Amino acid sequence: MTNVIVARSVDEALATLSEAPDITILAGGTDLMVEINRGLRQLNSVIALAQVPELHRWSIGEDRLMIGAGVTYTTMLNTKLAQAAPALAQAARTVGSPPIRNAGTLGGNLGTASPAGDTLPVLAALNASIVLDGPSGERCLSLEEFMVGVKRTCLAPGELIKAVEMDHLSGGQEYLKIGPRNAMVISMAGVALAVDRKAKQVRCALGAVAANIPRASEAEAWVGERINWDSGTGVDSVLAQEFGQRMAAESSPIDDHRSTAAYRRHAVGVLAARALQRVFSEGTNGYV
């Protein structure tokens, strides 16, 4: 029989983890339960975090956003967070069904550390810092530092994901992905774009086409030099297509049971071109 401990505070959770650092941490359970139902995981003890109020808090500052690890996809969709981070809301909308979005959390998506995790490209594009808490206190890591491989993180024994802090940008944002059907599907390729007007930069991140969540730095620099930042113009179909090709060139997909590498690379080009035109189109959430 599995022993389940329900934490009521971060301190209580950390105290439990200090005594049993190998205990399984349960947030929404949307990924963990799939593994259990398939017989891929067996649990001896679990600490559930759904009743920890600190993990459900979020705030919107002038320059940065803070989202607790327990904030659900539904909250990202149905609050002012959706206006402050529209690409994050777009990513949340693509996750599963309403019951899954009601249970699944930002911290859970990070903890699973799958390259196909829908929120992760958005976090990369928004320069997110992952706030961890544990026996040695808090530490903040970039997504690149936190996610060290496919479904592998740098979480130390006794640590948990406490929150995520990210840039609050005024420019347009987009998250687009492709899968074998229109809903309730794992991403085969994903693209996140975020416009930083102050820095005159288009930030680009890729999902499900590498072992991590890469920023397409060369494509970012190339397109940033070709936009009229005073008016927000200069993005036509020719520029968008070239940008898409450059984004695709910075991906490193593989062949697997869900897609071929060639199709993933082609999809990145199409999605990136489409996203760029959307973020700079008048009448959308882009540069207007």
Domain assignment present for residue 54? The answer is: no
- Which residues constitute the domain of residue 206? 173-279
Domain assignment present for residue 40? The answer is: no
31-67 per-position pLDDT tens digit: 888 888 888 888 889 999 999 999 999 999 999 999 9
Residue 1: predicted pLDDT = 64
Provide the 3-class DSSP secondary structure of residue 92: helix
Residue 40: predicted pLDDT = 80
Give start and end residues of each alpha helix (H) in the chain.
Answer: 10-19, 32-37, 73-78, 81-84, 86-93, 98-103, 106-112, 119-125, 143-146, 217-224, 237-249, 261-279
The closest of 129, 122, 198, 196 to 161, measured between CA atoms, is: 129
The chain-wide mean pLDDT, for the chain, equals: 93
Residue 282: predicted pLDDT = 53
Domain assignment present for residue 78? The answer is: no
Residue 215: predicted pLDDT = 97
pLDDT along the chain (288 residues), means of 10: 90 96 91 84 89 98 98 96 97 95 97 96 98 96 97 95 97 95 89 96 97 97 93 85 98 95 98 96 47
Residue 287: predicted pLDDT = 38
Residue 284: predicted pLDDT = 44
Q: Distance (Å, rounded) from C-alpha 126 to C-alpha 195?
A: 9
Considering its fold, how many domains does the chain have in total? 1
Q: What is the CATH number of the domain that holds 204?
A: 3.30.390.50
- pTM of structure: 0.94
Domain assignment present for residue 154? The answer is: no
183-199 per-position pLDDT tens digit: 788 999 999 999 999 99
Domain assignment present for residue 197? The answer is: yes
Domain assignment present for residue 42? The answer is: no
Residue 33: predicted pLDDT = 84
Domain assignment present for residue 226? The answer is: yes
Q: Phi and psi dihedrals of 87, rounded to 5?
A: -65, -35
Report how far apart, in Å, the C-alpha atoms of 128 and of each of 121, 144, 244 are. Answer: 10, 10, 24
Phi and psi based region of residue 177 (left: phi greater than 0; alpha: psi -120 to 50; beta: remaining): beta
Residue 288: predicted pLDDT = 32
Exposed, middle or buried: residue 61 (CB in 10 Å: 0-12, 13-18, 19+)?
exposed
Phi and psi based region of residue 253 (left: phi greater than 0; alpha: psi -120 to 50; beta: remaining): beta
CA dihedral angle for residue 111, residue 112, residue 116, residue 118, rounded to 10 degrees: -50
Q: Distance (Å, rounded) from C-alpha 281 to C-alpha 288?
A: 7
Domain assignment present for residue 142? The answer is: no
